[in-house]
Amino acid sequence: MARGPAKRTEAVVLDTTKLAERDLIVTLLAEDGVLERAVAKGARKGGSRFGAACELYRTSDVLLAPGRSLSIMTDARLVEGAPILRQDFEVLAAAAAIADCVKAVSLEGEGEAIAYALVRRAYEMLAEPLDLAHLQLIVAAFAFKLLALLGWRVELDACVGCGSEDVRWFDSLSGGALCSDCAARVESAELLGEHRRSWLRALLLCPFQELATSPVAPEDAAWMARLSLDWSRAQLDMGLKSFAFFSNL
Ligand SMILES: [Zn+2]
């Protein structure tokens, strides 16, 4: 019975679940930005090229054949020159936070190619030797950029309540910056100084490479990671467990 054509695509592996003795269910973001789930038969057999291409956070060229409920990954090979992350606790936690965020925004069967480019670039950055503060910057920038691309752009220049440009507060649930009058009516609002407001602007506007080489105070980086999680949760109404774990490191 015909079930539509096979799909050959570059993809990033965002999640894997063991299936039977030697197989995996692999969750991938394809280059058209669509989230795909596929069975990879024999992927847990040690030492195979196929297995290596199905590992977490790898970038691979894959062939997906339509199956009864999930697709079947019939071929996979690593993309030459694509990043391979260090098996470092903080790096892997950052990669999991990014995957968490992508899975939360992706609807099966729909996607934006630009989201794939952003994920691919973020994983390239995680392959660089970054300390925790810069990993936090990359994850926070990723979350704010991805959500902005999809229509949830954080407002930093004017109060989301009244439009005043005298903004000294921030509240994720309200949608961004607030003036003192509006903030007085919002219990969860927090103070936002000019220094941290310019950091938030930088997360939205600066390329990852520039952020990765910018000096940052650890407390500012930790704050940005936490705020990007709050922002994502407020917009997506999701728990984001791995993202929360990373933000608490
Ligand atoms: Zn206001």
Ligand 1 centroid–CA 201 distance in Å is: 19
Ligand 1 centroid–CA 200 distance in Å is: 19
Confidence of residue 138 (pLDDT cuts 50, 70, 90): very high
Residue 45 has pLDDT above 90, yes or no: no
Report the pLDDT value the prediction gives residue 3, as an integer from 0 to 100: 65
- Which tokens is 207 given? 């390329």
| pTM metric for this prediction | 0.93
Confidence of residue 184 (pLDDT cuts 50, 70, 90): very high
Assigned domain for 137 exists: yes
Please check whether residues 160 and 225 belong to one and the same domain.
yes
Mean pLDDT value across residues 10-29? 94
Confidence of residue 51 (pLDDT cuts 50, 70, 90): very high
Ligand 1 centroid–CA 120 distance in Å is: 38
Assigned domain for 1 exists: no
Report the pLDDT value the prediction gives residue 46, as an integer from 0 to 100: 79
CATH code for the domain of 186 = 1.20.1440.120
Residue 237 has pLDDT above 90, yes or no: no
Assigned domain for 83 exists: no
Ligand 1 centroid–CA 171 distance in Å is: 12
Give yes or no for a contact between 37 and 107, defined as CB atoms under 8 angstroms apart.
Answer: no
Please check whether residues 177 and 240 belong to one and the same domain.
yes
Confidence of residue 233 (pLDDT cuts 50, 70, 90): very high
The larger pLDDT score, comparing residue 69 to residue 134, is at 134
Ligand 1 centroid–CA 225 distance in Å is: 25
Ligand 1 centroid–CA 111 distance in Å is: 35
Assigned domain for 84 exists: no
Assigned domain for 119 exists: yes
Ligand 1 centroid–CA 219 distance in Å is: 27
Report the pLDDT value the prediction gives residue 1, as an integer from 0 to 100: 44
- Range of the structural domain that residue 59 is part of: 7-78
Mean pLDDT value across residues 172-190? 95
Of 78, 100, 122, the one marking the end of a domain is: 78
Using H for helix, E for strand and C for coil, what is the string for the chain?
CCCCCCEEEEEEEEEEEEECCCEEEEEEEECCCEEEEEEECCCCCCCCHHHHHCCCCCEEEEEEECCCCCEEEEEEEECCCCCCCCCCHHHHHHHHHHHHHHHHHCCECCECHHHHHHHHHHHHHHCCCCCHHHHHHHHHHHHHHHHHHCCCCCECCCCCCCCCCCEEEEECCCCEEEEHHHHCCCCCCEECCHHHHHHHHHHHHCCHHHHHCCCCCHHHHHHHHHHHHHHHHHHHCCCCHHHHHHHCC
Report the pLDDT value the prediction gives residue 12, as an integer from 0 to 100: 96
Report the pLDDT value the prediction gives residue 110, as an integer from 0 to 100: 72
Phi/psi of residue 128, each to 5°?
A: -85, 155
Report the pLDDT value the prediction gives residue 82, as an integer from 0 to 100: 87
Ligand 1 centroid–CA 196 distance in Å is: 19
Please check whether residues 146 and 225 belong to one and the same domain.
yes
- Highest mean pLDDT among 39-43, 79-83, 110-114, 122-126 belongs to 122-126
Ligand 1 centroid–CA 70 distance in Å is: 49
Please check whether residues 58 and 116 belong to one and the same domain.
no
Ligand 1 centroid–CA 80 distance in Å is: 51
Residue 136 has pLDDT above 60, yes or no: yes
Please check whether residues 140 and 211 belong to one and the same domain.
yes
Rounded to a whole number of angstroms, the distance between the first and last alpha carbons of the chain is 50
The residues placing their C-beta within 5 Å of ligand 1, an ion, are 159, 161-162, 164, 179, 182
Of 78, 112, 136, the one marking the end of a domain is: 78
Please check whether residues 183 and 236 belong to one and the same domain.
yes
CATH code for the domain of 50 = 2.40.50.140
Of 34, 59, 78, the one marking the end of a domain is: 78
Please check whether residues 174 and 237 belong to one and the same domain.
yes
Assigned domain for 2 exists: no
Give me the number of domains the chain comprises. 2
Ligand 1 centroid–CA 84 distance in Å is: 46
Please check whether residues 56 and 93 belong to one and the same domain.
no
Please check whether residues 229 and 194 belong to one and the same domain.
yes
Ligand 1 centroid–CA 21 distance in Å is: 58
Please check whether residues 43 and 119 belong to one and the same domain.
no
Assigned domain for 175 exists: yes
Residue 163 has pLDDT above 50, yes or no: yes
Please check whether residues 93 and 69 belong to one and the same domain.
no
Please check whether residues 68 and 93 belong to one and the same domain.
no
CA distance 240 to 98: 10
Task: Name the strands in the sheet holding 190-191, side by side, starting at the edge strand that comes first in the sequence.
Answer: 176-179, 167-171, 190-191
Residue 13 has pLDDT above 80, yes or no: yes
Assigned domain for 64 exists: yes
